[in-house]
């Protein structure tokens, strides 16, 4: 992984309104044990990541956005190449921070992702 | 000459200013028609030898609204005669009034109303203008009150054996289809139900515009009269009064959308927001959110709450609202400087205040 590696994030349809994505899409939920799931964009294309994710009928995704490894580094967020549950899987680790700080970091990640726009959308599938 | 005939008390927020919305006068026009028909029935019951009522039975008799008194609003309705003295037929109108009030009281108490089904069907129009939380209260001969509410009205209509009846509604949806040759269009509700409506010239531009933008998710609100059957299914629009294009960030429409979420909505996790709490939140926004403020984007939270977000220049602003407690956390972050402002708020308290959210 390099500083330019894109980390692919699936965006739930409920987290999109009128084309705008909430910063919640870039923070772990309380049940995620402070780790945000992403895929390594060097090893997996956005469309392939979306297709694998949505193959599970429980999971829904309006599309894929991405932050870079350097975006995370700028927020002092380690990126862990954990390879689970699939080889390309990574986790952005928020465990060193409290809720309010996590929200600020998520807002900055959202802004970085928004400048890149959608890498893949459900409509293109 | 005229004599005071009826003083129903109208209860509900719309009547708090001790005035009557013109809309509700349609209900009283329907009541007048009903009174005439019930009075004719009373006449026939009292005069079984006659096969029909006397010619000119209702001639010279009319109901007039003569005043609106306080409390919340009490329209004073008089029986007006074109003659110098009250018509002898006026007593049948008094009996008709009592019959109608007793039918309402029976329905209110879960009993079978005494009026025949064909007369009960007048409640399709009389009482249709009442909204949830509103009532028309009538004084019975015993001095007790009989209250006509949307729920009482539905019981009366079910007792009328009507296969379907009408309701005044405002429904939101998209317009997938317009048939200009047939002068009709369809409104598609969020659950996929499609309702046909007549296309009036006055609404043509708005309807065609909404149809053109269907794929972009353009939503309109239609105020009109809808037909509903005994199984509670919406059938089609009987008439359309207004069609209003909604802002893509319309708060009420978005909260209605969030109300569709079920538990597990977030990839198997995620608690559904409580419907009653969303209704209260929509009402709070409606009453307190200053209209000159930029509308927020609204999103569900995994914990069953709602998060409002605004982008104001370089400031990323959020308000996470926990439901049903209405406790909120405000956070504003300047994306360039990292400066932040935070505040814990209780919206439940603000809801009871008359001051807007600023």
ipTM of this predicted complex? 0.95
**Residue B210 falls within a domain, yes or no?**
yes
Geometric angle at alpha carbon A99, from A93 and A100, rounded to 5°: 115
Between CA B10 and CA B136 the distance in angstroms is 5
pLDDT for res B346: 86
Tell whether B232 and B191 lie within a shared domain. Answer: yes
pLDDT recorded at residue B181: 95
List the B306-312 sheet strands across, edge first: B297-300, B306-312, B315-322, B327-334, B340-346
Note whether B297 contacts A107, CB cutoff 8 Å.
no
In a domain, B357, yes or no: no
Q: Looking at the structure, tell me whether residues B173 and B24 fall in a common domain.
A: no
In a domain, B126, yes or no: yes
Mutation target to probe the B interface, by most B beta carbons within 10 A, among A14, A32, A109 is A14
d(C-alpha B121, C-alpha B126), whole Å? 9
User: B102 vs B85, B113, B321, B326, CA distance in Å?
Assistant: 28, 7, 47, 43
Q: Which residues of chain A have pLDDT under 50?
A: none
Tokens representing residue B52 in the block: 């029909």
B207 and B262 in a common domain:
no
Tell me which residues of chain A have a C-beta less than 8 Å from any C-beta of chain B: 12, 14-15, 17-18, 20, 22-24, 29-31, 58-60, 100, 103-104, 107-108, 110-111
Which stretches of chain B score pLDDT less than 50? 354-356
pLDDT at B85: 59
Are B93 and B179 contained in the same domain? no
What is residue B353's predicted lDDT score, i.e. its pLDDT?
A: 52
Please list every residue in chain B whose beta carbon sits closer than 8 Å to the beta carbon of residue A29. Answer: 266, 269-270, 302
- Is B331 close to A60, i.e. CB distance below 8 A? no
Which residue among B222, B245, B268 closes a domain?
B245
Q: What is the pLDDT of residue B87?
A: 67
Give the residue from B127, B162, B197 where a domain finishes. B162
Contact indicator for B95, B43 with CB cutoff of 8 Å: no
Residue B206 and residue B134 in one domain: no
Residue B358 lies in a domain: no
Interface probe, candidates A24, A27, A50, chain B, greatest B C-beta count within 10 A: A24
Domain identity same for B155 and B179: no
What would the two tokens of residue A92 be? 């952005």
Classify residue A96 by burial, with Cβ atoms within 10 Å: 0-12, 13-18, 19+: exposed
The answer as to whether B192 is a domain residue is yes
The rounded distance, in Å, linking the Cα atoms of B5 and B345 is: 52
Closest CA of chain B from A4, distance in Å: 21
Phi, psi of B115 (to 5 degrees): -80, 150
CA dihedral for B230, B234, B240, B245, sign (positive or negative): positive
pLDDT the model gives residue B80: 85
State whether B54 and B108 are in the same domain.
yes
Please calculate the CA angle A16-B262-B151 and round it to the nearest 5 degrees.
115
Chain B residues whose CB is inside 8 A of the A85 CB are none
Nearest chain B residue to A59 by CA distance is B267
The reply to whether B318 falls in a domain is yes
| B318 Cα to chain A: minimum distance (Å) | 9
Tell me the nearest-neighbour CA distance from A36 into chain B, angstroms. 14
Q: Which residues of A touch B328 (CB under 8 A)?
A: none
* Whether B335 and A22 lie within 8 Å, measured CB to CB: no
Is B183 part of any domain? Answer: yes
Interface of B with A (CB under 8 A): 217, 248-249, 254, 258, 261, 264-270, 297-303, 307, 309, 316, 318, 329, 331, 333, 335, 338, 340, 342
Q: Does B299 sit within 8 Å of A17, measured CB to CB?
A: yes
Domain count, chain B: 3
Burial class (CB in 10 A: 0-12, 13-18, 19+), B207: buried
Residues B36 and B153 in one domain: yes
Comparing C-alpha atoms, which of B157, B332, B171 is closest to residue B244? B171
Task: Give the CATH number, domain containing residue B189.
Answer: 2.40.50
DSSP secondary structure code for residue B2 in this structure: E
B158, B180: one domain: no
- Measured in angstroms, the CA of A1 and the nearest CA of chain B are apart by 27
Out of B217, B299, B333, the one facing A104 most closely (by C-beta) is B333
Q: How far apart are CA B177 and CA B7, in angstroms?
A: 46
State whether B277 and B199 are in the same domain: no
Q: Do B297 and A58 touch (CB under 8 A)?
A: no
How far, in Å, CA of A10 to CA of B136, rounded?
53
**Smallest Cα–Cα separation from A109: which of B111, B335, B118?**
B335
Q: Tell me how far CA of residue B38 lies from CA of B43, B105, B120, B130, B229, in angstroms.
A: 9, 16, 10, 22, 25
**Residue B225 lies in domain:** 167-245
Which of B112, B133, B162 finishes a domain?
A: B162
A chain contacts of residue B249, beta-carbon cutoff 8 Å:
17-18
Are B123 and B173 found together in one domain? Answer: no
Residue B77 lies in a domain: yes
**Which chain B residues are within 8 Å of A15, Cβ to Cβ?**
299
Report residue A38 as tokens: 């992403």
Cα of A33 to nearest chain B Cα, Å: 13
Cα dihedral B240/B245/B248/B249 (nearest 10): -80
- Number of Cβ atoms within 10 Å of the Cβ of B294: 10
Shared-domain flag, residues B8 and B107: yes
Chain A residues closer than 8 Å to B268 by CB? 58-59
Contact A59 B338 (CB under 8 A): no
What's the pTM value of the predicted model, to 2 decimals? 0.74
């Amino acid at each position: 992984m390099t500083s330019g590696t894109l980390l692919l994030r699936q965006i739930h349809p409920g987290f999109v309104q009128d084309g705008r994505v909430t910063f919640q899409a870039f923070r772990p939920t309380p049940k995620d044990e402070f780790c945000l799931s992403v895929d390594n964009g060097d090893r997996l294309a956005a469309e392939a990541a979306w297709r694998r994710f949505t193959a599970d009928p429980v999971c829904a995704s309006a599309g894929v956005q991405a932050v870079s490894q350097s975006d995370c580094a700028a927020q002092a967020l380690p990126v862990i190449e954990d390879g689970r549950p699939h080889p390309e899987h990574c986790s952005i680790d928020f465990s060193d921070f409290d809720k309010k700080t996590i929200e600020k970091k998520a807002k900055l990640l959202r802004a970085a992702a928004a400048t890149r726009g959608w890498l893949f959308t459900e409509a293109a599938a | 000459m005229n004599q005071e005939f009826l003083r129903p008390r109208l209860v509900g927020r719309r009547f708090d200013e001790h005035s009557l919305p013109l809309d509700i006068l349609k209900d009283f026009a329907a009541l007048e028609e009903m009174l005439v028909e019930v009075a004719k029935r009373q006449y026939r019951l009292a005069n079984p030898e006659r096969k029909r009522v006397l010619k000119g039975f209702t001639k010279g008799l009319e109901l007039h609204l003569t005043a609106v008194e306080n409390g919340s609003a009490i329209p004073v309705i008089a029986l007006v005669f074109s003659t110098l003295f009250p018509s002898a037929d006026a007593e049948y109108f008094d009996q008709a009034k009592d019959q109608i009030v007793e039918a309402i009281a029976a329905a209110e108490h879960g009993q079978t109303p005494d009026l025949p089904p064909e007369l009960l069907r007048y409640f399709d129009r009389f009482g249709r203008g009442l909204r949830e939380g509103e009532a028309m209260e009538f004084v019975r001969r015993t001095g007790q009150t009989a209250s006509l509410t949307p729920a009482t009205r539905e019981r009366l209509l079910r007792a009328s054996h009507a296969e379907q009846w009408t309701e005044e509604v405002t429904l939101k949806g998209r317009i997938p289809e317009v048939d200009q040759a047939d002068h009709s269009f369809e409104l598609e509700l969020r659950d996929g139900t499609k309702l046909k409506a007549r296309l009036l010239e006055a609404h043509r531009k708005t309807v065609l515009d909404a149809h053109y933008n269907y794929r972009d998710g353009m939503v309109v609100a239609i105020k009109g009269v809808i037909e509903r059957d005994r199984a509670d299914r919406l059938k089609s629009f009987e008439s359309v009064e207004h069609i209003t294009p909604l802002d893509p960030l319309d708060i009420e429409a978005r909260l209605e959308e969030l109300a569709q979420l079920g538990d597990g909505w977030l990839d198997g996790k995620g608690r559904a927001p409580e419907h009653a709490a969303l209704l209260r939140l929509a009402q709070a926004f409606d009453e307190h959110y200053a209209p000159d403020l930029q509308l927020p984007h609204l999103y569900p939270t995994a914990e069953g709450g709602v998060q409002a977000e605004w982008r104001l220049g370089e400031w990323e602003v959020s308000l996470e609202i926990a439901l049903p407690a209405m406790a909120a956390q405000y956070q504003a972050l300047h994306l360039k400087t990292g400066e932040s402002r935070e505040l814990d708020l209780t919206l439940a308290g603000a809801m009871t205040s008359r001051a807007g959210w600023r």
